[in-house]
């Protein structure tokens, strides 16, 4: 499974990558971007199966990246998990309305990340089976 980890902090990208590896994903298939803009360029250039993105980033924020993904025909079905310190109600609602697949509030644990990822893949499998 090809995953794109988007965060402006290299420490956080590394932490998320390590957690994903711990959860059984292949490190070689995980790529990183430091803002929404570069993430979008990478998403257009190659195919990914999952995006794990932060909210607060320069140039293009996570919510704008999510909206751009949902607005683009080739990308709109891509699962997006938000991992962010933004935990106010309005922002969570905004993310839900923009079509986020999961929302993890920082600081988080490996268990939470696993739980949200499992839910995302379960829902995708369910919608795929019912389609």
Partner 1 sequence: MNMSVSNPLAGDDVLPAELRELLNSPDGAAFEQALDVMVRQREQRLFRALGQLARDLHNAVRRLGGELSQDGLPDMVADARQHLQEALEMSGNAAHRSIDFAERMLPQADELANNAGEVLKWTEGNEAAAILARHALEFATDCRDGLSDLMLAQSWQDLTGQRIKKVSSFIGTVESSMLELVRLTGALAGSEVPVSVERVTSQEDADRLLSEFGF
Judged by the rule CB under 8 A, the positions of this chain that interact with partner 1 are 7, 9-12, 14-15, 18-19, 22, 56, 85, 106-110
Query: Nearer to partner 1 by C-beta: 18 or 118?
Result: 18
Tokens of 43: 């998403």
Tokens of 92: 């969570």
121: CB partners within 8 A, 6+ apart: 79
Query: Nearer to partner 1 by C-beta: 65 or 78?
Result: 65
Least distance to partner 1, CB of residue 14, Å: 5
Query: Nearer to partner 1 by C-beta: 20 or 78?
Result: 20
Query: Nearer to partner 1 by C-beta: 25 or 78?
Result: 25
Backbone torsions φ then ψ of 30, nearest 5 degrees: -100, 125
Of 53, 55, 116, the C-alpha closest to 90 is 55
30: CB partners within 8 A, 6+ apart: 2, 3, 4, 5, 17, 20, 21
Least distance to partner 1, CB of residue 67, Å: 21
Least distance to partner 1, CB of residue 99, Å: 24
């Amino acid at each position: 499974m090809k995953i794109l980890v988007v965060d402006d902090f290299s420490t956080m990208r590394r932490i998320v990558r390590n957690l994903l590896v711990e959860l059984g994903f292949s490190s070689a298939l995980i790529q990183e971007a430091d803002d929404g803009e570069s993430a979008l360029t990478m998403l257009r250039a190659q195919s990914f199966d999952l995006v794990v993105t932060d909210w607060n980033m320069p140039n293009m924020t996570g919510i704008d990246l999510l909206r751009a993904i949902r607005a683009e025909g080739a990308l709109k079905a891509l699962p997006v998990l938000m991992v962010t310190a933004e935990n106010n109600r309005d922002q969570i609602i905004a993310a839900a309305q923009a079509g986020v697949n999961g929302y993890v509030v920082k600081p988080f644990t490996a268990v939470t990340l696993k739980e949200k990822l499992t839910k995302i893949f379960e829902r995708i499998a369910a919608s795929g089976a019912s389609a």
